[in-house]
Every structure is written in structure tokens, then in C-alpha cells.
Structure 1
């Protein structure tokens, strides 16, 4: 055998040995466990019942209108706050300043110590510049104790709301508002509670 053939055979044998070392099988114990995990987000679902709180015609200065409605937490997450924003359009300029919300009360947050008033005697024009929390317990504290439900709405529960609107009688000439109308939109913006350890 020539030297070239011997060298080629040696190189081939070395390569074969290396391939056996790299691709060879080993005997050892083994145990595999698999972890299957999931993350499911909760839902924030605010309901308003009825959706139209007031629809009234033929009002005159001095008339008032009492209405009730419910804020419902139909989701799986607790609600911490519900911000109320007021928007309106008026057919005659200034009419919104004559429609007054005497009060918007959260009946579930009140107690024998006092009412939980979200709004107290504000015109629509004034309310358009406010964003009160409709589910905050505003009733007064007595020696550190506050009656009524805590602020917010727990999942699956309801807060009962009571509102009084009034066409303000200002003892002045209000003839400019005969036949006038206001279209009122109240938006209730529900907010989640703070994050917590799960």
C-alpha cells in the first residue's frame, strides 16, 4: 500500500472515530415534567338600567323630575370608580344653565348618618366642567366609621341611583326658552381596581 493510501486510510479512520464519539449514544437516567400554564383576563362590564334616564316634554320653570336608575357591575372584576361626564346640546343658547341637577344620590353608599350625594345642586353648564365619581362613598364619618357600602361596585352587584332634575325658576323673564330643548348625554366611565397579588 502506498504512502498516500495509508495516509488517506488513517484520515478516514480518524474521521470515523470522531463521528462515533460525537454521534454515539449514551446510557443515563432521564425524567421530564411538563408545566402547562394559562392567563385569562377578567372583564370590566358596566351596565346602566335604564339607558335613558329622562325623556320629558312640556316642562316649565319650576317643574322638577325625580328619576331612578341602576349602575350594574356585570363583569368579573370589581369596579373602583365610575367617572360621570356631562355633555349637552341646547337649541337656545343658555338653556343648559336653567336645567339644574338638584342631586344625584347613590342610595347604596348612604347611611343613617347622611346621604352619599354625587352631585348637589349643579346646572348642566356647571356639570360639563366636572367628573364626579358616582360610586364613591361620600357619606360623613362618625368616629372613623362610615355607613353604607364601600366605594366602588363589587363584581355581580348593583348600585341604586336617585336623581332630581329641575327647570330653574329664577323670577325673571324666561320667555326666550319657550320651546327650547336640551339633549343631555351622561357618560359613565368604569375604572378597574388597583393590581394585586394573585
Structure 2
């Protein structure tokens, strides 16, 4: 056999060996599994029932109006706090006001029965948690879901629920409005009206390790 043939066969054999080695790198066991994952966000869904807390006319100084409403958490996430923002507009019927009608409307926040484990009885002003005027309240942002209680309920261990509002639960709220009789001339408010807007803003609880 000639030298050229021997070299040619050697080259061919070497190429075949490289090919076999290369092909052999794919000759191993394998197994594949697919992980299908998802992320779904929860919901905050706060409702106020009824949506109109108070609608009253023909007021006079000294009148007090007690109203109740329900805050409902219809979402899937717990609520840590509910901010209450107040805004109002006074309609001066005669154009003679020198004072703000909102300074003469007192707001009395009464016990939240679900938070204290107690109920509110009409005329029982021992259940007043805090009070202020609409004028001052517009510069405040109280937490409507906070567990504030009168000392009597604390004394007898009527603690009820904690602050916030768990998913699928509700709070029975009580509030009183008083047109304060200041024993002075309040004739400027005759025929006037006040439009009150309460905005409740729910906040989520803190993030957690899941």
C-alpha cells in the first residue's frame, strides 16, 4: 500500500474517531420536569353601608342625631387601618355668615360594638370615645377601625376585636352629630345647609414571609 493511501486511511480513521467521540458526548440519561407557577394579588374592598350616613333637615341648635353604619371588608386581604377624611361645604342661604357652620356641628364618635364587645344604648354618652367639631375634624385623619374603648368596657374586659378589619368581617359603627347650642345668637345659620363628605381609605397589613 502506498504512503498516500496509508495517510488517507489514517486521516479518515482519525476523523471517524473524532466523530464518535463527539457523538458520545450526547449519550447520557436525562429527565425533564416543568414547574408551572403563578402569582395572584389579593384585593382590598371596603364598603360603607349605608353609603349616606346622615341626611337630615329642619335642624335647630341643641338637636342631636345618632346614626349607625357598617364598615365591611369584602376583599380577600385583611385591612390594617381605615383613614377617615372629612370635607364639607357650607351653603349660606342669606349670605350673612360671619362664622363657619362646621364649628357649630359637633361629631361624637361612639363605641364600635365589634371592637369593644359592648353595645351602644341611645342616650348613653358614657360610650363616647372622642368628640370634635366638623371644622376641626377636616384637619384630622382618624383611624375608623382602631380599637378605642371607654374605660368601663376595659374595666370589665369587654375587649372585642383588635384594630383593623379582617377579610370577610364588618364593624358596626355609631356616631352622633350635635348642632351645638352655644347660648348665643346663631341666627346667621337659619336656612343654611352643610354638605358633608366622608372618605374612608383602607390600608393593607404589612407584608409577610409566605
1:121 to 115, 131, 153: 131
CA separation of 1:14 and 1:175: change in aligned 2, threshold 3 A: farther
> What is the match of residue 184 of structure 2?
172
User: Displacement of 1:121 after TM fit?
Assistant: 2.2
**For 1:134 and 1:185, how far apart are their aligned partners in 2?**
15
Is this contact kept in 1: 2:108–2:128, CA < 8 A?
no
Give the alignment's Cα RMSD to 1 decimal.
Answer: 2.8
> What is the match of residue 102 of structure 1?
108
**For 1:111 and 1:20, how far apart are their aligned partners in 2?**
82
Is this contact kept in 1: 2:77–2:166, CA < 8 A?
yes
Higher helix share: 2
- Higher RCO (C-alpha 8 Å, min separation 6): 2
**For 2:73 and 2:14, how far apart are their aligned partners in 1?**
76
> What is the match of residue 4 of structure 2?
none
1:154 to 166, 183, 190: 166
Equivalence map 1:33-48=2 (5 Å): 33-48=33-48
CA separation of 1:157 and 1:110: change in aligned 2, threshold 3 A: same
> What is the match of residue 50 of structure 1?
50
Is this contact kept in 1: 2:110–2:127, CA < 8 A?
no
Equivalence map 1:27-106=2 (5 Å): 27-92=27-92, 94-106=100-112
Is this contact kept in 2: 1:106–1:134, CA < 8 A?
no
User: Displacement of 1:103 after TM fit?
Assistant: 2.5
Matched pairs, number: 190
Is this contact kept in 2: 1:111–1:148, CA < 8 A?
yes
User: Displacement of 1:102 after TM fit?
Assistant: 2.4
TM (norm. structure 1) is 0.82
CA separation of 1:156 and 1:168: change in aligned 2, threshold 3 A: same
> What is the match of residue 3 of structure 1?
none
**For 2:53 and 2:59, how far apart are their aligned partners in 1?**
16
Q: Which blocks of at least 5 consecutive residues in structure 2 are unaligned?
A: 1-6, 93-98, 119-125
User: Displacement of 1:179 after TM fit?
Assistant: 0.8
Q: Which blocks of at least 5 consecutive residues in structure 1 are unaligned?
A: 1-5
User: Displacement of 1:91 after TM fit?
Assistant: 1.7
> What is the match of residue 193 of structure 2?
181
User: Displacement of 1:171 after TM fit?
Assistant: 0.7
